Structures are given as structure tokens and as C-alpha cells.
Amino acid sequence: DGGITQSPKYLFRKEGQNVTLSCEQNLNHDAMYWYRQDPGQGLRLIYYSQIVNDFQKGDIAEGYSVSREKKESFPLTVTSAQKNPTAFYLCASRSEGSGRNEQFFGPGTRLTVL
């Protein structure tokens, strides 16, 4: 069954702690993305990667870090420097070679800072 998986579904964190959100895809897609969703603000791009071992900052990268060591994995770390990390985080992927621009989304991780 091809798709994107995100774990965990719910995550609770104490202030001052770093936390890593997992994103895995078995679609053989080259590009992967992390978005943050807040009520009434749509989806905002945090980081994206179009190839292994390379990634670029999106519009709201401050307080976040990523790695892309494998094609199928793109974990996001929310650091203690992120001022307001409580949000719904969405991972997406896209095939570079197909000529299609469609981004496929995972089910999301809801992060709550206590």
C-alpha cells in the first residue's frame, strides 16, 4: 500500500524540549515537504527537499530543523527556539520526474506544548 505515514498522530511536549516528527513515504517521490497548519492561516511551508542530502528553508523555518539522509524519510525537529510550536504538522511528497505538480499529504501530527 503506497502512501505517506506520519508518526506519532498526537505528540505532547514540555516547553524547552526538542521533539522530532517522523515522515516516511514509499511512493518513490523525490521531493518532500513540511507544512504547519494553524486555524484560519492555511498551510505554511517550513522546509522542503527536492533531493537526498539537500533541503531548503520555507517561509517559516525559524525554530525548526530537518534532514534528508534517505529518499523515503524526511524528519522534522521542532526545537526549543520555536516560540509557538503548538500546531498541526503535515508532511507531503511529490514526484519530480512525472511532470505532475501534485503534492500528496500524510495524515498529520498534532503537536501540543504543555
Partner 1 sequence: QQQVKQSPQSLIVQKGGISIINCAYENTAFDYFPWYQQFPGKGPALLIAIRPDVSEKKEGRFTISFNKSAKQFSLHIMDSQPGDSATYFCAAGDTGKLIFGQGTTLQVKP
Residues interacting with partner 1, by CB under 8 A? Answer: 4, 31, 35, 40-45, 48, 50, 58, 90, 92, 94, 101-108, 110
**Beta-carbon contacts of residue 31 (< 8 Å; ≥ 6 apart):** 48, 49, 50, 51, 93, 94, 95, 96
In the complex with partner 1, the residue whose CB is nearer, 7 or 18, is 7
In the complex with partner 1, the residue whose CB is nearer, 75 or 80, is 75
In the complex with partner 1, the residue whose CB is nearer, 8 or 107, is 107
Separation of alpha carbons 86 and 39, rounded Å: 11
**Beta-carbon contacts of residue 27 (< 8 Å; ≥ 6 apart):** 2, 3, 4, 93, 95, 104
Compute the least distance from the CB of residue 14 to partner 1, in Å: 24
Compute the least distance from the CB of residue 90 to partner 1, in Å: 6
